Amino acid sequence: MMRDYESKDGVMNIAGIPAPEIAAEFGTPVYVCDEARIRENYRNVHDAFSRYMDTRIHYACKANTNLAILRILEQEGSGIDAVSIGEVRTCLKAGFTPDRIMYTGTSVSDKELKEVAELGVMINIDSVSEMERLAEIAPGHPVSFRITPGVGSGHSDKVITGSKGSKFGIPLKEVVSTYARANDLGFDIRGIHAHIGSGGQSVEPFMDMMQVLINLVNEIEELGINLKFIDMGGGIGVPYKPQEEEMDLNELASELTDMIQMETDIQTLILEPGRYIVCDAVTLLTKVNDVKDSGVKKYVGVDAGFNTLIRPAFYDSYHYVAITNKFGKACTNRFDVVGPICESGDYLAHDRVLPEPEPGDIMAIYNAGAYGFSMSSNYNSRPLCAEVLVNDGKAELIREAETVEDLWRHQRIPERLM
Ligand code: LLP
C-alpha cells in the first residue's frame, strides 16, 4: 500500500512535524525528506535479498543526489550506481570510496572514461566501441558489461530500457564474443549487468531477464572467464495510488536467488534500486496560490510546476495529493492541480477530489523522492527549491533554495552589448 501519514487535529504530520510548519519555516515549494524512511527502505530491500545470498545494494543515485541523502545511504552500507562523472564525484564527495561505486554510462565520451577510470571506479561497459576505447585509455581496468536482455518493463515507454533494439547495452548475439574480446584485451572482468527498465510492478520480467543473464554466465564460463557477480539493475516499482499493491520483495528475492544458486557458481548479486529507496521518503509541499473555476473544470493553482516535479507532465505519472491543513476533511469537488509554468501541459494532478481549497493552503504531493528534485529545472526562470531533512520531530535544511541571482551566475554579456 501507498505510504500514509500521521494526522493530528486535521493536520498532516511528517516525522512528527506538522507539514504547514515546515512550509512556513522553509518556504515553498520544498522537498521534505524523511530520514527514517530512507533507512527503512534500504534495510527492507537489502535484508530481503541478503537472507538468501550475498547481495550488494548499489543505490541508483540519479533518483536523488542530495549529499545528505547520500550520507545516510553511505552510513547504511550501500554502494552506488552512477551514470555520469558528476554523479561519481558527488558520491565521492559524500564519502563513498571508489570501490563502492559502479559507473554505468551510455553514449560515453573518452574524456569521461578517462576521468572515471583515474578515480578508480569500476566501469560497466555499454557497447563494443566503448570497450575498444577504454582498452586504450585504461588497459586492465575492472569492468563488467551491460547487456540488452531483450526483456523490458516499466511505468512508461520512456523508461523501458531492456527490450531488443534498445540503445542500452550489448546486443544478445554479440555478448559472448565481446567477453572473449575483453579477455584478449586484458581487462579485469568482474561481472555482467542488465536493467529492464524502471517502475515495473511485476516479478516475471525480472525472472525472464535473470534467465537470460544466467545462460550468458554459463556460456561465458566456457571461455574460461569466471564472473564474480550478476547485477540485475534497478526497476523495483512502488505504489503511487492508494490501493496499489507493493511488489512482493520476498518473492522477487527468493525466486531470483534460487535461479542463480541452482544454475550458476555466482556468489554475489548486485541490485541497483533508486526509486524503491527514496520515492516514498520524500514529500513535496506546495502552497495554493489561486483557485479558479473555468466553467468546464476547477483548478487549484500551486507554486510547484513541472519545473519542480516533471513526472506528471513528462510521463503522465500519477502522484497522490492532499491538503495538509485539511487532512482527512470531506471532499467537495474535483480539481486539477496545476503549477505556475506557462504551458497547458503544466500539471501535478488531474481530476482529484479535494476538500475546498483556498489560497494559502499547503498541499502535499506524495512519492516525490525519486526523480523529483533531480529532474527539476529553472524553466520560466524559477530558482530550484529547497530540500529539508526531517527526523524525529526535527527539520534541517539540506539544500538552500536558489535565488534569482543564481540564475545569472554563469552567464556573460559580451562587452559590445553593454
Ligand atoms: N540501474 C540503471 C542502469 C538504470 O538506468 C536505472 C534507472 C536504475 C538502475 C534505477 O531504476 P529504479 O530502481 O529507480 O527504477 N525518471 C524516470 C525514471 C528513469 C530511470 C532511469 N534509469 C521516472 O521519473 O520515473
The domains of the chain are located at 6-33+279-408, 35-277
Q: In ligand 1, which atom is closest to the CA atom of 311?
A: 24
- How many residues appear in the chain? 418
Residue 360's pLDDT is 98
In the predicted model, is pLDDT for residue 189 greater than 90?
A: yes
Mean pLDDT over all residues of the chain? 97
Atom 7 of ligand 1: nearest residue by CA position:
198
Residues 6+ apart with CB under 8 A from 75: none
Which residue ranges have their beta carbon within 6 Å of ligand 1?
Answer: 60, 63, 81, 104, 159, 161, 195, 198-199, 233-236, 272-276, 311, 315, 370-371
CA atoms of 418 and 411, how far apart (whole Å): 14
CATH code reported for the domain at 35-277: 3.20.20.10
CATH code reported for the domain at 6-33+279-408: 2.40.37.10
Active site residues per annotation? 342
**C-alpha cell of residue 14:** 511528517
Of 332, 333, 282, nearest in space to 308 by CA: 282
Q: In ligand 1, which atom is closest to the CA atom of 279?
A: 14
Q: Candidates 56, 62, 308, 348: which one to mutate for ligand 1, based on the most atoms within 8 Å of Cβ?
A: 62
Answer for the pair 245, 202: CB distance below 8 angstroms, yes or no.
no
Residues 6+ apart with CB under 8 A from 117: 123, 134, 137, 138, 141
In the predicted model, is pLDDT for residue 158 greater than 90?
A: yes
CA atoms of 178 and 387, how far apart (whole Å): 44
CA atoms of 300 and 351, how far apart (whole Å): 11
pTM over 0.95: yes
Query: Mapping DSSP to helix (H, G, I), strand (E, B) and coil, where does residue 233 land?
Result: coil
The pair phi, psi for residue 230, each rounded to 5°, is: -110, 130
Atom 24 of ligand 1: nearest residue by CA position:
371
Answer for the pair 103, 123: CB distance below 8 angstroms, yes or no.
yes
Of 367, 406, 366, nearest in space to 386 by CA: 406
What is the CA(60)–ligand 1 centre distance, in A? 7
Residue 1's pLDDT is 84
Amino acid at 99: D
What is the CA(137)–ligand 1 centre distance, in A? 28
Atom 9 of ligand 1: nearest residue by CA position:
234
In the chain, % of residues over pLDDT 90: 98
Q: In ligand 1, which atom is closest to the CA atom of 161?
A: 5
- pLDDT (mean) for 389-413: 98
- pLDDT (mean) for 195-208: 95
For residue 187, the Cα-to-chain-centroid distance in whole angstroms is 30
CA atoms of 249 and 78, how far apart (whole Å): 18
Residue 261's pLDDT is 98
In the predicted model, is pLDDT for residue 204 greater than 90?
A: yes
Q: In ligand 1, which atom is closest to the CA atom of 155?
A: 25
Query: Quick check: do 6-33+279-408 and 35-277 share a fold?
Result: no
